Amino acid sequence: MVDGLARSVGLVISGTPAPSVATGRDEVVVRDFVSLAGAVYARDPLWVRPFERSLYRALRNPPQTDGRRQELFVVRHGRRPVARACAWSDAISRAAAKGPTGYFSHFEAHPDADAVHALFDAVRAWLRAEGITHLIGPKAAGMMEPPGVLVEGRGRPVYGTPYNPPYYPGLLSGVGLEKYVDLLDFTLPIASGYPRITRLAGLARARFPRARVRPVDLKEGFEADVHSVVEVYNAAWAHNWGFVELTVDRLMATARELRPVYRPEYAMLLELDGRCIGFAMMMPDFNEVFHRIRGRLLPTGWFHLLFGMRRIRTFRAFFIGLLPQYRSAGLEAVLIEALLRVIWARRVDRLHVGWIKETNYLWRNEVSAFAGVAPGTAHKRYRLYSGEV
Amino acid sequence: MTSTLTLKDQLREIIAEHLRVSTTDLQEDVLLEATGLDSLAVAEIVVAAEQRLVRPIDTARLSTRLTYQTTLREFVDALAATVS
């Protein structure tokens, strides 16, 4: 009670200054925002340090697509940054059916409940002023930023998955946020054959003899393929957790980011009579290399980057989706089989499959069987939180 | 023998074969989730049903009727309703 009152009026208790919140994109705010993660994970050998230069660029010049509004928040005790978050919304989230929705992302904090209270007071106040009534997160606007907080399972994070200290769930519950949805993550050892998939893929091909699978075109047909993927994604995930409509601009921004390290065979398009009806996408676990580089290209990081990428033997499956009218017909097996051919050719030994909503039992049961874990369990569990603004 | 079975009986037989239980052991009130069926299994059952019945199943309509609260009975009903 006293602590809460002290927080609200900015009193100093026992010589500890009340936390102050800074916002904006000036040099000091962005510097503190970026450097905080390094301090939080200073003694954590599993953390994968991001490339700070690209984070600086992204924070200073956020894309203005889809009517996005965004603000950075840094909480300091004295001059020391202790908590941070980004709050954002866009035209699509503001028109969400259950009410104007905003998100928080890039959440990092020391185990300091006062600081996190101050952070979310500020985030909520900013969102309220934007007309937002619901808050969900952590979820970034960028497609490749991992959503959620790790609440179960440990180990070095795979590329595109969340990683955080174990005290984060307690901090977020402490500011009135509740579980919104859990996403499950599985690690599958790669076998030399999958008779069930091969058989079903064969049956599906017999049923749809004109169905064709091909790698994404990164050259002349790239733009057309991006449009196709956006169409399938929006139809396939329309009823999925926290669905945010994908736009061509947003996917193009992600594709441009990935283009230097992406290869056509990492994404497969399934076409029927020339129309894209499904796609699947995977990527090497770039964190195998990024973990060694520790966010620095010099003096030896560039060497690891250049030669290490080819030796990555762990992949991550990101998406597999079909237009709703083609589900339950075995066509997902055709896509999986196409990815498996690439996996075998690259001598990949493990595949991480994640972002599986816990209530999606059909997909969850399938992946947990291949992963060899008991139904209802997973290797890692990530949680998205929600609350009123 | 099979010709005397109703459409739903035949579908129950196919599902029971897939789950490796007898049709009398099928508990139709359980959630589909609890049976251990997965998305490949649903496709396998669809294919098996189409082959056995020699009639196509409208998978577009079927997939819209499956939710995380679907029971085995509702799955049988959904399959029966989407057999052309």
Q: What is the pLDDT along chain B (84 residues), one digit of tens a residue?
A: 445 789 999 999 999 999 989 988 888 899 888 888 888 899 999 999 998 999 989 888 888 888 878 899 999 999 999 987
Taking CB atoms and an 8 Å cutoff, what residues of chain B touch A360?
A: 68
Give the domains, in start order, of chain A with CATH numbers: 2-182 (3.40.630.30), 191-348 (3.40.630.30)
pLDDT in tens, A304-324: 666 677 789 999 998 888 998
CB distance from A195 to chain B under 8 Å? no
A65-95 in b/e form (b: 16+ CB < 10 A) is: ebebbbbbbbbbbeeebbbbbbbbbbebbbe
pLDDT at A96: 77
CB distance from A68 to chain B under 8 Å? no
- In percent, how much of chain A has pLDDT > 90? 56
Pick A203's closest partner by Cβ from B33, B42, B47: B47
Nearest-Å Rg of the Cα atoms of chain B is 12
Pick B38's closest partner by Cβ from A327, A359, A366: A366
Taking CB atoms and an 8 Å cutoff, what residues of chain A touch B46?
A: 328-330
pLDDT at A104: 97
Whether residue A329 has pLDDT greater than 50: yes
Whether residue A298 has pLDDT greater than 70: no
Structure tokens at A180: 């919104």
A306: which DSSP letter?
A: I
Q: Which of A114-118, A159-163, A253-257 is least confident? A: A253-257
CB contact residues (below 8 A), chain A span 352-371, against chain B: 359-366, 369
pLDDT at A305: 65
CB distance from A208 to chain B under 8 Å? no
CATH architecture of the domain B2-82 equals Orthogonal Bundle (1.10)
CB distance from B54 to chain A under 8 Å? no
Q: Which of A16-20, A247-251, A307-311, A323-327 is least confident? A: A307-311
pLDDT at A7: 43
Whether residue A12 has pLDDT greater than 60: no
Q: 10 Å Cβ neighbour count for A251? A: 17
Taking CB atoms and an 8 Å cutoff, what residues of chain B touch A359?
A: 68
pLDDT in tens, A127-184: 999 999 999 999 988 766 789 999 999 899 998 899 999 999 999 999 999 999 999 9
- The rounded distance, in Å, linking the Cα atoms of A270 and A322 is 9
Q: Which of A9-18, A87-96, A210-219, B56-65 is least confident? A: A9-18
